[in-house]
Structure 1
């Protein structure tokens, strides 16, 4: 039996950095920034606690001009995208990082 696979991420949070814009070969641009999200949970005594997570975000294509115009630290966003893991060599060791590639974006 074949299992349907999915790579789908939905986040609502705030930009924790201004976007950085990188021009690739051929003039194509990408935007990179960090998005913070907050989660609430109850500790063992029943007190509400908050924890923050920071996510690496990458945007291509039509999202780059929007982020150039409207993207700034503190801006609230809803993001729909997919996880991407990338690998590279650094001083002979394989390094990796995971980022979220935007498919859809809403400025809140």
Structure 2
């Protein structure tokens, strides 16, 4: 069984994009706020968790072209733990490996632009790919329907 998580938060860093042997990888940090009501004190509490997010290949390229510091995002992915050694010390990092990333539209508006995949019909046919607009004539008599 594959476990996934969905996070809503804000970018706290710019996106960095780099090439690796496994393909392009984009990395950024995000802040996720966790609010809850503390029954003992009768008050709302809040804590912020900062997470490192990585996206691979095509998703990485689209993330680098689309997201910027401070923007609200939704991230769907899974937790990954990796270990490394630096200066003779072992380190463990837990990060989110993203499957999908998008702007959180509860905070604003966005326009979607589909990225082309491979040669397009217009490229093969040698045309511009832009269809001439059709002229539609609608006659209206002015009478109420």
TM-score band, normalised by the shorter chain?
0.7 to 0.9
Task: Tell me what 1:36 maps to.
Answer: 31
Higher strand share: 1
* Larger relative contact order (Cα-Cα within 8 Å, sequence gap ≥ 6): 1
Per-residue deviation at 1:49?
2.2
Runs of 5+ consecutive residues of structure 2 not aligned to the other structure: 105-145
Shift of 1:101: 0.4
5 Å-filtered alignment, 1:36-75, equals 36-43=31-38, 44-75=40-71
Taking the aligned partners of 2:2 and 2:25, their CA distance within structure 1 comes to 24
Match of 1:79 in 2: 75
Structure 1: 5+ residue stretches without partners? none
Two-structure CA RMSD over aligned residues (Å): 1.7
- Aligned residues, how many? 103
Give the number of the structure whose alpha-carbon radius of gyration is greater. Answer: 2
TM-score (norm 2): 0.64
How far has the Cα of 1:71 moved from its partner? 1.0
Q: 1:78: Cα distance to partner?
A: 1.0
**In 2, distance between residues paired with 1:90 and 1:74?**
30
In 1: Cα distance, 2:21 partner to 2:58 partner: 17
Aligned twin of 2:89: 93
TM-score when scaled to structure 1? 0.83
